[in-house]
Amino acid sequence: MPEASTVWIVIPALNEARTIGDVVAPLRACGWRVVVIDDGSRDGTAAAARAAGAVVLRHSINLGQGAGLRTGIAFVQRQRDAQCVVTYDADGQHQPDAVAALIGVLTREHVDVVLGSRFLDDSGAREVPAARRALLRLATLFTRFTTGLRVTDAHNGLRAFTVDAASRLRLTHNRMAHASEMLSEIARLGLRYAEAPVTIRYTDYSMAKGQRPLDALAILWDIFTAGLR
Amino acid sequence: MLRSQVLLIVLLAGLALYLFRLRTTPRDRLLYIVMVGVAVPLVLFPDASNVVAHAVGIGRGADLVFYLFIIFSLFHFATSASRIRQLERQLTSLVQDRALAAPDVPPGQGSSSA
């Protein structure tokens, strides 16, 4: 296992003042480094994140989660001793212990990327509401078909990269389609990847903040028009 | 000359002047000169569009003008869309550079940047 202080957790956040402190604090308590990208919030997100011990980068205007992750990864690349980058959601849906599990797989299996999956074992899948499960199955089939990656979950925000692998990703989507884009980059670069089981806490809050089924259409549109840019 | 013709020509001249000042790339200026160069004769001699339309196998001059309008609109839409995407990319990297230039580091964590 790498030293905890060489692992950076990247959390893009928009108007999460209520929860961001509770998301950051347990991660800092484990010794991980945390960088929160405040993506143009209108509330006290930046102050709450900093008070909980995160380095804060501020986007002067809202750019989207994909852009936030890119800014965070660029920041981690500049840290001399950084070895791993973990992407993490700001709304409290991930469990802090999952980071250690992901980093464990990353080092044990000598891979470049570890992807969190809700469907790797049954206990994770049971937590996912039925309607969302059906939509995610479709998204996963689509991803397998378009990227050739044999993944069991397509749009999970929890992933761990070696810094070296993360710096090679060429990401361009500012908004939600970055999750698919990350997978196609993993396929294009031929990165070694593994999956690790994660459970997601679906609270009313995270469901309200999260994507609605119709957003899937917007993501598809982004992916298909990407070639036209 | 009909009153509508006078009005249309004044409007076209005003638009041409405005666009000429607004759009400074030679390509755009040329485009607007061509457009006004086609529009003014059409206002003065409306029947001319019929002659041209018949020559290329279109029933009415009004249809020809309408088709040209659609093509121009699509062209304009496509160039504006790519301009907007380019601006979006520039704006993104500007905002990201600003964010990276001023990290807010909590006390005691020091900066370890390479």
The CATH number of residue A119's host domain is 3.90.550.10
Of residues B47 and A38, more confidently modeled:
A38
First to last CA, chain A: 41
Rounded to the nearest angstrom, the minimum Cα separation between A14 and chain B is 15
CB contact under 8 A, A33 and B109: yes
Residue A57 lies in a domain: yes
CB contact under 8 A, A79 and B114: yes
Of residues B22 and A89, more confidently modeled:
A89
Integer Cα distance of A198 and A203 in angstroms: 16
* pLDDT at residue A226, as a whole number: 58
* pLDDT at residue B33, as a whole number: 83
Does residue A160 contact residue A114 with C-beta atoms inside 8 Å?
yes
Residue of A nearest to B104 (CA): A56
What does the pLDDT average to over A168-186? Answer: 84
pTM for this predicted structure:
0.79
What does the pLDDT average to over A15-23? Answer: 94
What confidence category does residue A205 fall into, taking pLDDT thresholds of 50, 70 and 90? low
Integer Cα distance of A220 and A201 in angstroms: 26
Q: Which residues of A sit within 8 Å Cβ distance of B?
A: 33, 35, 37, 46, 50-51, 53-61, 63, 67, 70-71, 74-75, 78-81, 174, 229
Residue A229 lies in a domain: no
What confidence category does residue B1 fall into, taking pLDDT thresholds of 50, 70 and 90? confident
Residue B7: CB atoms within 10 A of its CB come to 11
What confidence category does residue A216 fall into, taking pLDDT thresholds of 50, 70 and 90? low
The structural domain count of chain A equals: 1
Measured in whole angstroms, the distance separating CA A14 from the mean position of its chain's CA atoms is 14
CB contact under 8 A, B106 and A58: no
* pLDDT at residue A229, as a whole number: 46
Q: Is B24 exposed, middle or buried (0-12, 13-18, 19+ CB in 10 A)?
A: exposed
Does residue A29 contact residue A35 with C-beta atoms inside 8 Å?
no
CB contact under 8 A, B99 and A50: no
CB contact under 8 A, A56 and B100: no
Which residue range forms the structural domain that includes residue A172?
Answer: 4-224
* pLDDT at residue B2, as a whole number: 83
Which residues of B fall within a CB distance of 8 Å from A55? 103-106, 109
Residue of A nearest to B111 (CA): A79
Rounded to the nearest angstrom, the minimum Cα separation between A145 and chain B is 28
